[in-house]
Structure 1
């Protein structure tokens, strides 16, 4: 890629291309993703945002607006612009459509969310959403509400495959599918699940392709061993050696002593 992906690029290929998407936590993960032609990324708006942008300069980057970080549409617009300035291409927002409509009216691309929305899981619990006809209709209606509010993309999480397919075909929004088969416009996973970076719960739709928990444990053992050896060498007097330090010749030191007497 020679330029940054845009909303227009994604919309022009809706229905004809399946995009890979990852939520990344570090610049190293972002760099690895784009090296594998994974050019749709998401991340948090933390201290890594600018570094992730630098590591993936041409990727389409959807950055999460923390749920509850804004209390009015005006605050959402202000924070949305700030996130675009920091490098976001779209602002993920799980707030109500009125917040999304305010940002969209100002040209801020917004990613909405339907299905299992973790920030609203108190209403559904952490489970598949949309298995009944009535609940499936609520998901579709929520998607159309986001479309009418002017969203650009929509995360579709843990809904039945046929429902995800219907939503994808029923809206011009770019559907980012997680845990709902292969019918959405993007196939979306978290890098932490792909890399196996934690010992906690892995959702049903997760697929671990590496075991970073074990790798990190091995690295930690090596850190401890190196630090312990450093301490032993200092205690034994074998570090530092002459090659690790600098000195001054006798004439310079004598001159320094003379100068120091003026203090």
Structure 2
């Protein structure tokens, strides 16, 4: 797009297109996503937020409100507006619907979360959620709560495909699907999983398209080698060379010494 994507754009396109979505950690990742026509991004509200916004000026950017960062709806409104001023297009919020309702009432687009919600995983463990009829009904009930609260979007994480399809067809919310097959309005993954940036656990729904762990290890070896050579050359007197220095003419230095005597 030639202008910044909005919540209205996403809701207007619901049911007519599938969006790609990535959670990015750096401005470089945001720029790479934009180069691949990935128009929906999410990120954390850390020091990179403004730079991510600058790297992806037209993307729809959902920025995470850290769980527990606010203790009242009023605090949520203040922090939500602060994040919008920094570049967010929507605020991801895993707090209860009353926090979401407060922000939505002030015109702040909010992204909720159902299914496997990591911030609430003590109640479910890290597993697929909604595989029984009763648990699926709880997920649907959570969707209705978000609708009633005025949310604009909802992340649906690791629920059965048929449940995600039912929700996507029946809700006006833009559904952001992670681990839900191809059922939702967006196909959502974390850039860290796509790029293979870590050696820890990779979720079943993720897929590695690169091996940045190996690349970073090679870069680290090159850093160490360069730093070691720098230290050795300093110790051996081979750095700095004449071309690295700035010198003064003898006459200029003599005049400096004369002038310095007046101090």
TM-score range (shorter-chain normalised) is: over 0.9
Distance 1:72 1:259 in 2: 67
Q: Answer yes or no: is 1:234 the counterpart of 2:234.
A: yes
SS of residue in 2 equivalent to 1:71? coil
2:66 matched residue in structure 1: 66
Aligned length: 263
1:81 is paired with a residue whose SS is: helix
2:5 corresponds to 1:8 = no
Task: Measure, in 2, the Cα distance between the counterparts of 1:123 and 1:258.
Answer: 80
- Give the 5 Å matches for 1:81-96: 81-96=81-96
- Distance, in Å, in 2 between the alignment partners of 1:102 and 1:45 is 20
**Structure 2 counterpart of 1:142:** 142
Distance 2:95 2:259 in 1: 69
1:196-246 CA distances to partner (integer Å, 9 max, x unpaired)?
Answer: 000000000010000000000000000000011111111111110111010
- Secondary structure in 1 matching 2:88: coil
Distance in 2, matches of 1:190 and 1:149, equals 27
93-102 vs 229-238, which moves further: 229-238
**Residue number in structure 1 paired with 2:154:** 154
In structure 2, what is the equivalent of residue 132 of structure 1? Answer: 132
Structure 1 length as normaliser, TM-score?
0.99
Corresponding position of 1:178 = 178
Q: Distance in 2 between matches of 1:117 and 1:180?
A: 14
Determine helix, strand or coil for the equivalent of 1:204: coil
Task: Describe the superposition over 1:58-108 as per-residue Cα deviations: whole angstroms up to 9, x where unpaired.
Answer: 000000000000000000000000000000000000000000000000000
Matched with 1:52 is 52
Task: Determine helix, strand or coil for the equivalent of 2:100.
Answer: helix
Deviation at 1:134, TM superposition (A): 0.5
Map 1:241-256 onto structure 2 (within 5 A): 241-256=241-256
- Residues 88-145 of structure 1, C-alpha deviations (whole Å, 9 max, x = no match): 0000000000000000000000000000000000000000000000000000000110
Structure 1 residue 251 displacement after superposition: 1.4
Q: Which moved more, 1:236-245 or 1:211-220?
A: 236-245
2: CA distance between counterparts of 1:61 and 1:248? 55
Output the CA distance in 2 between the equivalents of 1:122 and 1:251: 77
Structure 1 Cα separation of the partners of residues 262 and 206 of structure 2: 72
- Partner of 2:111, secondary structure, is strand
Normalised TM-score (structure 2): 0.99
Mapped partners of 1:114, 1:259: distance in 2: 76
Per the TM alignment, residue 262 of structure 1 is displaced from its structure 2 partner at its CA by: 2.0
After superposition, residues 103-122 of structure 1 pair within 5 angstroms as 103-122=103-122
Query: 5+ unaligned residues in a row in structure 2: which ranges?
Result: none
Runs of at least 4 residues off by over 4 Å: none
